[in-house]
Amino acid sequence: MARRETPEINAGSMADIAFLLLIFFLVTTTMDVDSGISKKLSEKPPADYVPPIIKEKNIFEVNINRNNEMLVEGETMKLEELKEAAKAFIDNGGGEGKVEDGVSTGPCDYCKGARSASSSDHPNKAIISVQSDRLTEYGMYIKVQNELLKAYTELRNRLAMDKYRVSFEQLEEDFKNDRTNEELKKKVEFIRTSYPQIISDAEPTS
């Protein structure tokens, strides 16, 4: 009697089905992506570096405590008030700008602030210092940073509209699409240096 051979199972179709299921799950599955704030950290200064003397009036202090309450210049402030307060500080223009190559940049001729002698001298001297507590919620910290960035964005857009009749956001977008355009590059750099984003993170409190 002839010996029967065990029939083989055709696994080709099963492999196709497994491949299709794999593609389906790859396409439909969502993955959590960590979000955060894009910041460029400063390089470590040389050993002989002498930090510049900064006037107290050129520092805008924002403190967030462990209860997510915000103090600005020692006064309680709501989050929705922060942007306008920051704009008033940055755009004050109450004195002379930085000294570059031994020559002062002079007073701010594009600032539209109150020019108070007790507030910042110039946008290129205005420093925003943010200090949080180690128990401050990350979401609150992000909201504060967003309001401060909005202040800079609005001031840059205003100056770009006054000078070039186009928003700074549009200038950046145009330059992103045409990196070889020297005229666009100069315009973008002028607005950025006119209102430099100087936001410093102080050591968190315990």
Question: What is the per-residue pLDDT across 156-184, written as a single tens digit (0 to 9) for each?
Answer: 999 999 999 999 999 999 999 998 999 99
DSSP 75: E
* 145 neighbors 201 (Cβ within 8 angstroms): no
Q: Which residues contact 90 (CB under 8 A, 6 or more apart)?
A: 60, 113, 120, 123, 126, 128, 151, 152, 155, 195
Residue 12 has pLDDT above 70, yes or no: no
Q: What is the pTM of this model?
A: 0.77
pLDDT at 31: 64
Q: What is the end-to-end Cα distance of the chain in Å, rounded?
A: 88
Q: 69: burial class by Cβ within 10 Å (0-12, 13-18, 19+)?
A: middle
DSSP state at residue 39: -
pLDDT tens digits, residue range 100-130? Answer: 766 667 899 999 999 999 999 999 999 999 9
The type of residue at 201 is D
